[in-house]
Structure 1
């Protein structure tokens, strides 16, 4: 096998970095046998490029789980960061690879790496990608619902901005704050901007505030075209206030999150009040 040597560049007194090694190339292209031969032959598993990309980063962004497993078993650093602060788990979520995500988590990857101005969390990346299975998996491992990205805001903002209804639903069912703000902008503003009535209805069901204004003084309805389905939907909610029953259920969700239905049925109160407070658990098959 003819393998080209890695080019190297010298940066002052910092030292040498490999530009791109054969290990990087094999990992990126999913060449499992070649990667195994390189590692068995003593190739360095944690070699980094100038921008601090490791072979593990490459295998994750290209969604090659067999290569990820080989690299991890060979001692790849699971939480190594590139120059922007992204870990392999961020890359695996961005690629939408549940297998790679699970492998990394099983090898101790941090589900909540410290964020920088240039970094989105793994949960943000999964919501941007719109992969519900990745979202479910990292939520089950303790991903922070309110992690803040300087560009999108919270993961719920990201899911709504990218029109991923099922991801938004998973976040809301897990207890995400529906009225969390980024520059006074809520997820409902994003839903209005992308003209998704299903997202608007979902967010309102979970207590989304249709009257909140952003830093430009605009309500969600102000981002819709008059007469459009999204405009008519928000206009409907403005003209017909939520009932006391809906407000009570929203308060229950806000206080107890995903445990609400379990807790309310065990309260020592009238069955009629329990029935009044209980709501239908939303799922991906629920008509929005």
Structure 2
């Protein structure tokens, strides 16, 4: 390499964390002026590379030109190039992390070819791998390239999320498809059953955010429909009921979710539906064979939570139901 990319001690980048508070259309580009950079968003960015990094579009292009990979020739990095490739910023980012953050996808592809395999899974100070960042920024071509190189799907960021968690939370269909494509059933089960630090597995993430298409994708790949989240023992069905999400409830029931699965407190999905006065979903659950007599740890059946709702009371098989002496149903 004839020319070094200029570096200084201010070359820092903390990863993607601050992107969560700034709309994507407000991300500053590499050519953005200093004035524009300072006026972008209302919160100070943890990702300080945009204001202090010596990386520029020209320097990235220069590096690409110097390290162009020939399809016919195996690339051998010089000592100078290898030093740059393996340098970490004070926030733990490699140049590959930075290329992905700056959305220089072509450059990221070149770096993935240049990086030794063992460096592709480096986690920054937020425990984000390049795969986490490529997923978060919805770069399916980079995700695919990383997966072809054999990166890990199991690594968790500072919130306990795997890259597939990120895709399921944000509804990133293409990235998720790349991650579940051509993966063995055992390996995929290990990934889909992993819980983040809030106790949520990938199906829980997709359900909570009403990403029905991703739910179907996970189901097609054989995800455990009844997996419980780690804090209260809710299944995806419990979560769908809490959200009054009729489509998700129907999807889960049609795919064979256990209608009588109980939370740690003994509540079934029917308890939740009745407690939330959702007669439509309660009816769906009853049609799916929900046991109306299951008692939770408070010794309550779903009927005990009906609170006089005539539409819900009509679902329960009693000859005579009275409330304060008034008959509301006769059979």
Same fold (TM over 0.5): yes
CA contact 1:52–1:82 (8 Å) conserved in 2: yes
CA contact 1:6–1:22 (8 Å) conserved in 2: no
Deviates more, 1:214-223 or 1:170-179: 214-223
Question: Structure 2 stretches of 5 or more lacking a match?
Answer: 15-88, 320-331
Task: State which of 73, 76, 99 in structure 1 corresponds to 2:174.
Answer: 99
When residues 194 and 99 of structure 1 are mapped into structure 2, their CA distance, relative to the original with a 3 A threshold, is farther
Return the alpha-carbon distance in structure 2 between the equivalents of residues 225 and 24 of structure 1: 55
When residues 38 and 115 of structure 1 are mapped into structure 2, their CA distance, relative to the original with a 3 A threshold, is closer
The equivalent residue for 1:190 is 272
How far has the Cα of 1:143 moved from its partner? 0.5
Question: Structure 1 stretches of 5 or more lacking a match?
Answer: 9-15, 242-288
When residues 66 and 117 of structure 1 are mapped into structure 2, their CA distance, relative to the original with a 3 A threshold, is closer
How far has the Cα of 1:179 moved from its partner? 0.7
The equivalent residue for 1:209 is 291
Q: How do 1:19-34 and structure 2 match up within 5 A?
A: 19-28=92-101, 30-34=103-107
Return the alpha-carbon distance in structure 2 between the equivalents of residues 235 and 55 of structure 1: 53
Return the alpha-carbon distance in structure 1 between the equivalents of residues 277 and 103 of structure 2: 39
How far has the Cα of 1:32 moved from its partner? 2.0
Structure number with greater Rg is 2
How far has the Cα of 1:175 moved from its partner? 1.3
Q: How do 1:1-288 and structure 2 match up within 5 A?
A: 5-6=11-12, 18-28=91-101, 30-40=103-113, 42=115, 44-108=119-183, 110-113=188-191, 114-116=193-195, 118=197, 119-151=199-231, 153-182=234-263, 183-220=265-302, 223=305, 226=308, 231-238=309-316
When residues 62 and 203 of structure 1 are mapped into structure 2, their CA distance, relative to the original with a 3 A threshold, is farther
Return the alpha-carbon distance in structure 1 between the equivalents of residues 114 and 150 of structure 2: 14
Return the alpha-carbon distance in structure 1 between the equivalents of residues 141 and 151 of structure 2: 14
TM-score normalized with structure 2 length: 0.59
Query: What CA RMSD, in Å, does the superposition of the two structures yield over aligned residues?
Result: 3.2
When residues 107 and 17 of structure 1 are mapped into structure 2, their CA distance, relative to the original with a 3 A threshold, is farther
Return the alpha-carbon distance in structure 2 between the equivalents of residues 222 and 22 of structure 1: 60
TM-score normalized with structure 1 length: 0.67
When residues 30 and 67 of structure 1 are mapped into structure 2, their CA distance, relative to the original with a 3 A threshold, is farther
Deviates more, 1:85-94 or 1:200-209: 85-94
When residues 141 and 116 of structure 1 are mapped into structure 2, their CA distance, relative to the original with a 3 A threshold, is closer
